[in-house]
Amino acid sequence: MLARALGSLCRQTLSAVRYEIIVVDNNSHDDTRLRVEESAREHANVRYLLETKQGLSQARNCGADAARGEYLLYIDDDAIAPSDYLENILAAVETHRPDILGGPVYPYYFVAKPRWFRHEWEIRCYARRSGFVTTGGISGSNYVIRRDLLKILGMFDPLLGMKGDELGLGEDRMVLETYRKSLPSENQRVYYALECPVLHLVPASKMRLGYMLSRHFATGRLNVTVKGQLQTSGAAVKVLLQLPFVVFRKHLDVRRLGWRGIQLVEGIRRAVWESGRVYEAFRQAVLRNTRDLSGRRKLSLKITLDKETERR
């Protein structure tokens, strides 16, 4: 995968003197370093870095610290960039001077999809037309941000994102949401460019029902963590009680399509996503109550000690 991704970035129509390619090796046990160094001998703008702290956020931050450009562009090792990709990115940056920029991510395959697997599930496109946006996401595999801004926002959170084989999400979305919460919408400069797509590989392992449901459960949890929704146990209970209605009315559109129009996998997928939201809301509520109780105990202990000191 890395060879394909790196090759696509080296064969850009944009002059190589205008950009650098930094490959961050996050404790791989294959020939990653050898492959990158071979590429670096042919392309002077390719650099290899090793980040021993495990985690996607650690790797992203490592690349940001080493980068020399004004803008950072993140792309995953399972992605392929069209030949005019960086030229289009640069044109959008020079024309609009965004703080953050993103574009669509479309899937490609080397194995046949299962009959139940829908192509649109792997499409990441969060706008209908190019322009500045104040809502919606930006895929971490097609993610552009000013380097100085990323440092101001606190970099990528090491508690979020993939860690080796451990499924994790949200380090990229957290940066975006932190930016949006820091500025009034009229001052935000997040640009979505439909003319700057990339392709990402969907392997057989990601077209298994178990993986898909695990990812959607994690995405539901992320919705609470990043957006700060359902922050009370009461709100979580309300969503839990409404879960059947939400799945069958909102996600499956039973009223319009009828019962025969229901797609079972889609219903399960959406129900798991909603369940992830409820789970995370309750989990955070318990943690808050625990912290509050701990704080009250510490305060009570301090008052008791103060009174004992006064008596002495």
Residue 177, in any domain of the structure = yes
Check whether residue 67 and residue 185 sit in a common domain: yes
Q: Mean pLDDT check: name the lowest of 2-11, 94-103, 130-139, 286-295.
A: 286-295
Domain residues for the domain of 119 are: 2-203
**Within this chain, do residues 256 and 179 fall inside the same structural domain, yes or no?**
no
Identify whether residues 198 and 232 lie together within a single domain: no
Q: Which range scores top for mean pLDDT: 55-64, 209-218, 243-252, 279-288? A: 55-64
Residue 60 lies in a domain: yes
Task: Examine the domain organization and report whether 75 and 37 are in the same domain.
Answer: yes
Per-residue burial over 237-276, b if 16 or more Cβ lie within 10 Å, else e, is: eebbeebeeebbeebbebeeeeeeeeeebeeebbbbbbbb
Judgement on whether residues 24 and 119 belong to the same structural domain of the protein: yes
Domain boundary among 171, 203, 235: 203
Q: Which residue, among 26, 13, 15, 1, has the nearest Cα to 171 in the 3D structure?
A: 26
Q: Which tens digits make up the pLDDT trace of 133-153?
A: 999 999 999 999 999 999 999
- Of 144, 170, 203, which one is at a domain's C-terminal end? 203
Examine residue 89 and state whether it is found in any structural domain, yes or no. yes
**Cα separation values, 80 from 89, 110, 142, 270, Å:** 15, 13, 10, 29
Q: What is the pLDDT of residues 56-89, one digit of tens each?
A: 999 999 999 999 999 999 999 999 999 999 999 9
Cβ(19)–Cβ(46) below 8 Å: no
Whether the predicted model's global pTM rises above the 0.85 cut? no
Which phi and psi angles does 210 have, rounded to 5°?
-60, -45
Shared domain check, 186 and 231: no
